[in-house]
């Protein structure tokens, strides 16, 4: 099994633009990537990072500016593949073990909001179609190609950081590079009048 972590290296996490500058979005992306690479490494895997631009991390990096679907589908055509997104800063070795445990042709880890945060594929005909409610598309594609399917119900695999509100999850539950980066950058939990948790910056 070949574990690959795709990452936007050039202009990542544009949905965090309301709270992070372009340079900060790149730094925070590298911090989340470090957490993902560390979790995969702790579980005994040696991930390859495929980035649209130069990134610093403790894994071999290939720069490839193709879009996500073209990139991943090309890699899938070469054989079994695991795709773990780079924006999962709560990822743990235990969750990685759970991702690789099912003996199914296709294993999906749904993300909050309908995305697909990780895929393990052992079927020659399965292909990805990211964005939108991709988890539904990936279930459908697995059915269409006759692949057996398993899904992993895991909070840390489901927690991808897309929008400013997601940063609260990192402050609440993270203890890695991304959580440290946010604290160093002055982020802290905030509570609105209804007691809802969010983030604020000093
Ligand atoms: N290699 C590669 N990785 C990508 C590409 N698009 C997204 N990713 C990565 O795939 C994961 C999910 O993508 P998104 O959540 O849309 O992340 P993003 O593109 O950085 O964020 P937004 O600009 O806010 O959409 C993240 O780990 C991204 O870094 C791409 O075109 N190529
Ligand atoms: C790539 C995309 O990520 P999201 O924008 O849902 O985080 C998806 O998982 O389909």
Average pLDDT over residues 49-56: 96
Contact residues of ligand 1, CB 6 A cut-off:
6-8, 12-15, 50-52, 67-68, 71, 85-87, 162
> What does the pLDDT look like over 108-130, one tens digit per residue?
999 999 999 999 999 999 999 99
Domains of the chain, CATH where assigned: 2-163 (3.90.550.10)
- Terminal C-alpha separation, the chain: 44
Q: What is the pLDDT of residue 89?
A: 98
Which ligand number lies closest to the CA of residue 29?
1
Q: What is the pLDDT of residue 57?
A: 95
Question: Which residue from 159, 181, 190, 157 is spatially nearest to 43, judged by alpha carbons?
Answer: 157
Q: What is the pLDDT of residue 1?
A: 85
Contact residues of ligand 2, CB 6 A cut-off:
68, 111, 113, 115-116, 130-131, 134, 160, 162
Say how far apart CA 31 and CA 126 lie, in whole Å: 31
**Residue 175: both structure tokens together:** 């203890």
Beta bridge partners of 84: 118
Tell me the CA–centroid distance for residue 42 and ligand 2, in Å.
Answer: 25
> What does the pLDDT look like over 59-70, one tens digit per residue?
999 999 999 999
Tell me the CA–centroid distance for residue 192 and ligand 1, in Å.
Answer: 30
> What does the pLDDT look like over 53-111, one tens digit per residue?
999 999 999 999 999 999 999 999 999 999 999 999 999 999 999 999 999 999 999 99
Q: Specify the pairing of strand 106-110 against strand 116-121.
A: antiparallel
């Amino acid at each position: 099994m070949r574990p690959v972590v795709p990452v936007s290296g050039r202009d990542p996490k544009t949905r965090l633009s309301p709270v992070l500058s372009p340079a900060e979005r790149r730094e925070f992306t590298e911090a989340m990537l470090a957490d993902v690479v560390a979790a995969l490494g702790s579980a005994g895997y040696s991930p390859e990072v495929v980035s649209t631009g130069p990134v610093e991390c403790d894994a071999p990096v290939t720069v490839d500016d193709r879009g996500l679907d073209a990139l991943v589908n090309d890699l899938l055509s070469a054989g079994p593949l695991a795709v773990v997104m780079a924006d999962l800063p709560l990822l743990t070795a235990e969750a990685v073990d759970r991702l690789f445990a099912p003996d199914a042709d296709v294993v999906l880890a749904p993300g909050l909001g309908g995305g697909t945060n990780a895929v393990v594929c052992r079927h020659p005909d399965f292909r990805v179609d990211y964005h939108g409610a991709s988890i539904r598309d990936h279930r459908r594609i697995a059915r269409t190609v006759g692949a057996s399917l398993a899904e992993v119900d895991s909070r840390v695999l489901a927690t991808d950081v897309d929008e400013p509100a997601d940063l609260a999850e990192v402050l609440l539950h993270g203890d890695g590079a991304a959580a440290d980066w946010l604290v160093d950058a002055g982020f802290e939990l905030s509570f609105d009048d209804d007691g809802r948790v969010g983030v604020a910056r000093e």
